[in-house]
Amino acid sequence: MLSIGIGEIQKNSSIFSNLTEAMQIIDKRKKQVLAMVYPVQNVSIVEKLAGKYSNRIVSEDIDLDTIKKSAMQIAMEEKYGLSS
- Kindly report whether the global pTM for this prediction surpasses the value 0.75: no
Which pLDDT tens digit goes with each residue over 38-71?
887 666 666 677 777 777 767 777 788 888 999 9
Render 4-21 in DSSP notation, one character per residue. EEHHHHHH-GGGTTT--S
Beta-bridge partners for 51: none
pLDDT at 77 over 80: yes
* Longest distance between any two alpha carbons in the chain, whole Å: 61
pLDDT at 5 over 60: yes
pLDDT at 26 over 90: yes
Distant-in-sequence, close-in-space partners of 83: CB < 8 Å, separation ≥ 6: 77
Is the Cβ–Cβ distance between 20 and 39 less than 8 Å?
A: yes
Domain extents in the chain? 2-80
